[in-house]
């Protein structure tokens, strides 16, 4: 997985949210259901999907990793391969669409440090190695992620956070990334944070982790984080948000050629009225045209959550490119068309233009300054709004 080879092509995928039963489908795994879902997903013109086994189902006891659970993940890889689709597999779910799935051996009477307890960390690593090993033999394995936004489980935002320092997180991520590599040598290995890592000074998962650990800088962009609420659904800032996260994270990279993967981006209807959705999609992707190191874009998500399932935040029911009955939505057609346009323009050389440099001095700024409406944010947006997105560069890097 190297940036140069991917620079112009840009991989296009979806986060696979099974149509029947959402991620509870693992409890009633049906190859027929998955095959039908993937047939529709393939019609979108994607080249890959990201899949999410539920951690408590795969490792229900600390020392029990279910062979049949691993076999079900492998079956998804096979069904995807039959349709020419690559697959990125996430390990620790963990957190999905507001629901937390944590094994009983880490909760309640058995609560212990998810990121710090020696036995818990070792057993989590054992699971990731087993998962990686199961996937490793499949030629369409695109990558392995430690888990979906595992950063959700620490910091001050979570109601039942597992405490961890920045050093704890460094150690933990290195262990988990090593565990995936041990199971699948040579496969790209990632980890993924949500935007508290960019914006919240209490979050021990840092931009240093995002930009230097694993084989790519992974970005999840969600404008319901206050951006769309503050600036409006049709504001430049809202449509520039994904690009902004990429540029800020990239500044913390030590390897300038490191690929960047926009692994989650979606059009949340709680902050985007119907009339804003399609322009949001088009403008968000348009602003990514001249991001040279962009490896891929994986839209959230494939299928709407069924209205028969309760308690999801309202926005989760409408995030799909395919509706709950299996029909491709207008959003799906627009994302696919915008991806084609993005690829066409990149192939035509849109990534090669000169850009201004914007210095970011971490010794003088807090993450609050980077957040929507913060001093650095405003400075960046002023430049970007007037023309091209600036190239953010750490002050320390320039001085060195």
348 binds a copy of itself (CB under 8 A): no
Q: Which of 11, 50, 62, 389 binds a copy of itself (CB under 8 A)?
A: 62
**b vs e for 151-189, b when ≥16 Cβ sit within 10 Å of the residue's Cβ?**
bbbbbeeeeeebebeeebbbebbebbbebbbebbeebbb
CB of 270 to a copy of itself, least distance (A): 15
156 binds a copy of itself (CB under 8 A): no
- The residue assigned the tokens 């939505």 is 329
197 binds a copy of itself (CB under 8 A): no
Contact letters (x/-) for a copy of itself, 117-136, by CB under 8 A?
A: --x---x-------------
The DSSP string of 162-174 is PP--HHHHHHHHH
Estimate to the nearest angstrom the gap between the alpha carbon of 120 and the chain centroid: 24
- The residue assigned the tokens 């995002």 is 210
159 vs 186, which CB is nearer to a copy of itself?
159
Helix or strand holding residue 204 (H, E) = none
110 vs 385, which CB is nearer to a copy of itself?
110
Contact letters (x/-) for a copy of itself, 298-317, by CB under 8 A?
A: ----------xxxx------
Dihedral angle, C-alpha 203, 259, 41, 299, nearest 10 °: 40
Estimate to the nearest angstrom the gap between the alpha carbon of 23 and the chain centroid: 17
Contact letters (x/-) for a copy of itself, 223-262, by CB under 8 A?
A: ----------------------------------------
159 binds a copy of itself (CB under 8 A): yes
274 vs 310, which CB is nearer to a copy of itself?
310
Token readout for 399 is 């001085």
Strand partners for 15: 50
CB of 22 to a copy of itself, least distance (A): 7
For residues 371 and 195, what is the distance between their CA atoms, to the nearest angstrom? 9
Q: Using CB under 8 A as the criterion, which residues of the chain lie in contact with a copy of itself when the complex forms? A: 21-22, 24, 27-28, 56-57, 60-64, 66, 68-69, 98-102, 104-105, 107-111, 119, 123, 158-160, 308-311
């Amino acid at each position: 997985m190297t940036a140069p080879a991917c620079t112009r092509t840009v991989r296009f995928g979806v986060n696979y949210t099974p149509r029947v039963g959402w991620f509870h489908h693992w409890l009633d795994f049906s190859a027929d259901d998955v095959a039908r879902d993937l047939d529709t997903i393939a019609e979108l013109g994607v080249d890959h999907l990201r899949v999410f086994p539920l951690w408590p189902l795969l490792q229900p006891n600390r020392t029990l990793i279910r062979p049949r659970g691993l076999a079900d993940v492998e079956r998804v890889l096979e069904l995807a391969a039959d349709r020419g689709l690559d697959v990125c597999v996430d390990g620790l779910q963990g957190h999905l669409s507001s629901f937390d799935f944590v094994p009983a051996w880490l909760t309640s009477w058995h609560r212990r440090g998810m990121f710090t307890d020696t036995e818990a960390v070792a057993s989590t690593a054992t699971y990731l190695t087993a998962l990686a090993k199961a996937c490793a033999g499949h030629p369409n394995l695109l990558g392995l992620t430690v888990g979906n936004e595992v950063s959700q489980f620490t910091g001050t935002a979570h109601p039942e956070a597992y405490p961890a320092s920045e050093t704890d997180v460094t150690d933990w991520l290195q262990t988990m990334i090593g565990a995936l590599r041990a199971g699948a040598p040579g496969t790209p290995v990632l980890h993924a944070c949500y935007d508290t890592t960019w914006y919240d000074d209490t979050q021990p998962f840092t931009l240093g982790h995002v930009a230097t650990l694993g084989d790519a800088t992974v970005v999840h962009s969600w404008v319901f984080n206050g951006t769309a609420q503050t600036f409006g659904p049709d504001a430049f800032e809202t449509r520039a948000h994904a690009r902004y996260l990429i540029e800020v994270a990239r500044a913390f990279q030590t390897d300038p050629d490191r690929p960047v993967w926009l692994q989650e981006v979606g059009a949340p209807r709680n902050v985007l009225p119907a009339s804003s959705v399609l322009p949001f999609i088009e403008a968000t992707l348009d602003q990514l045209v001249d991001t040279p190191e962009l490896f891929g874009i994986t839209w959230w998500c494939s299928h709407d959550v069924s209205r028969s399932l309760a308690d999801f935040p309202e926005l989760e029911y409408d995030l799909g490119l395919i509706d709950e009955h299996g029909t491709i939505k207008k959003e799906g057609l627009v994302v696919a068309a915008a991806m084609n346009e993005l690829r066409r323009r990149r192939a035509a050389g849109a990534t090669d233009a000169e850009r201004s440099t914007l210095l970011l001095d971490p010794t003088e700024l807090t993450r609050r300054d980077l957040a929507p409406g913060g001093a650095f944010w405003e400075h960046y947006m002023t430049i970007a709004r007037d023309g091209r997105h600036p190239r953010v560069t750490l002050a320390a890097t320039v001085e060195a």
